Amino acid sequence: MAVRPSIVRLTIVVALLLLTAPPGAGAQPAGKVWRIGYLDQGSAARNRPYLDAFRQGLRELGWLEGQNIAIEVRFAEGKTDQLPALALELVRLKVNLIVTWTTPAALAAKQATTTIPIVIGFAADPVGSGIVASLSHPGGNITGWTHLGLELRAKYLELLKEAVPKVTRFGVLWNPTNQVHKPSLKIIEAAAQRLKVELHLTGVQDPKELESTFSALVGKGVQALVVFPDGMFLAQTPLIIALASRSRLPTMYGVREYAEIGGLMAYGTNLSEMHRQVGASLVNKILKGAKPADLPVEQPTKFELVINLKTAKALGLTMPPSLLLRAGQVIE
């Protein structure tokens, strides 16, 4: 039987449309634009790469801004006390989903809504912080990913001690407004006892206090420093690195970007990749109908040590070969 040319043309058009449709687009309601709220404790200047990685992950899954999603971005610029108001603002905008960055942002979003799905990111201890019931069964309207930061606190000190074996007095910079930092202190204190070193814990919640804090640490004879991951600290990355350099303090950070721009060492997971691969994937699942309560909180499988040899040289340090061999990235 002969096939009419019009049917052939229609078949070709349909096939081309299917081939050019973005991945996963078939499951998305036609014409609907989903509104995603993005709440970040840090600053636009320092944290933009994480947001960009998240956007890239969404694009790879077929979610395109201006076509089927719109993203409402709110940065607290390191002002943790602004997070509750920013979270409520996103709720009033009637977003379909909220993505958060850091523990304080996750808790602010949780307080703001019990119905809008929330995908958390960069939360050190989401169970202990009261964000979710458990990692395997988060419950409620929240899921996301943890960078297992609570478990890494001891590792920061151990690696830094290996880099500067003769040092006996270590400082710890933490933020009292970050709900996960106080329980973190017990972990790093236990590590200090094992390593037989002296620990000086210094809480800072206002950027204006940073310069005087470093002066006080040096005055106490502190010889090296651990900086806990925190949105306010990230917003002040250049200042913290400059103060550590000026104070001649070998410093360990929990976010690799510090080491990439002049910090001595950093240890943790690749946060941009977690945003791109895990955060975007969870958002994709929820927008396609999955319930946050049914999606386990995901955990990183890879942690990397980053060492900046330029900074080591400036501090007069020779990094142990055993440490360099374990580094995922060495900046020369």
Q: What is the pLDDT of residues 210-262, one digit of tens each?
A: 999 999 999 999 999 999 999 999 999 999 999 999 999 999 999 999 999 99
| Displacement of CA 134 from its chain's centroid (Å) | 19
Neighbours of 141 (CB within 10 A): 19
pLDDT tens digits, 86-140? 999 999 999 999 999 999 999 999 999 999 999 999 999 999 999 999 999 999 9
Name the pLDDT band for 6 (thresholds 50, 70, 90). very low
Is the pLDDT confidence value at 70 over 90?
A: yes
Tell which residue, 32, 181, 149, 157, has the closest CA to residue 96. Answer: 32
Neighbours of 94 (CB within 10 A): 9
Give residue 267's pLDDT band: very low, low, confident or very high (50, 70, 90). very high
Residue 129 exposed, middle or buried by CB count within 10 Å (0-12, 13-18, 19+): buried
pLDDT for 2: 47
* Segment 190-200 mean pLDDT: 97
Confidence of residue 20 (pLDDT cuts 50, 70, 90): very low
Tokens coding 88 = 């409520």
- Average pLDDT of the chain is 91
Record: fold of 149-268+303-331: Rossmann fold (3.40.50)
**What CA–CA distance (Å, rounded) separates 306 from 261?**
11
Identify the band that residue 30 occupies on the pLDDT scale cut at 50, 70 and 90: low
Average pLDDT over residues 46-73: 96
Measured CA to CA in angstroms, residue 106 lies from 53, 98, 154, 207, 226 at distances of 19, 9, 24, 22, 24
Instruction: Please state the rounded mean pLDDT for residues 69-81.
Output: 96
* The domain over range 31-148+271-294 is classified in CATH as 3.80.30.20: no
> Is the pLDDT confidence value at 26 over 90?
no
Helices (H), the chain: 5-20, 44-60, 83-92, 103-112, 149-163, 181-195, 210-219, 231-235, 237-246, 256-260, 271-273, 280-287, 309-314, 321-326
How confident is the model over 146-166, as pLDDT tens digits?
998 788 999 999 999 999 999
Domains of the chain by residue range: 31-148+271-294, 149-268+303-331
**What is the distance between the alpha carbons of residues 296 and 265, in angstroms, rounded to a whole number?**
31
Tokens of 324: 């360099």
Query: Is pLDDT above 70 for 49?
Result: yes
pLDDT score at 270? 93
φ/ψ bin of 127: left (φ > 0), alpha (ψ from -120 to 50), beta (otherwise): alpha
Parallel/antiparallel/unpaired status of strands 198-203 and 169-174: parallel
pLDDT the model gives residue 324: 96
Do 149-268+303-331 and 31-148+271-294 have the same topology in CATH?
A: yes
pLDDT at 23: 41
Structure tokens at 157: 């000190």
Asked if residue 18 has pLDDT above 50, the reply is no
What pLDDT does residue 29 have? Answer: 52
Q: Which residue has the higher pLDDT, 171 or 3?
A: 171
pLDDT of 24 > 60? The answer is no
What span, in angstroms and rounded, lies between the C-alpha atoms of 242 and 244?
Answer: 5
- Percent of all residues in the chain with a pLDDT value above 90, rounded to a whole number: 89
pLDDT at residue number 148: 85
Per-residue exposure over 37-63, b if at least 16 CB sit within 10 Å of its own CB, e if not: bbbbbbbeebbeebbebbbebbbbbbb
Contact 36, 73 (CB under 8 A): no
Residue 10 has pLDDT above 60, yes or no: no
Which of 164, 241, 157 minimizes the C-alpha distance to 199? 157
Specify the pTM.
0.85
pLDDT > 70? residue 66: yes
User: pLDDT band at 3, cuts 50/70/90?
Assistant: very low
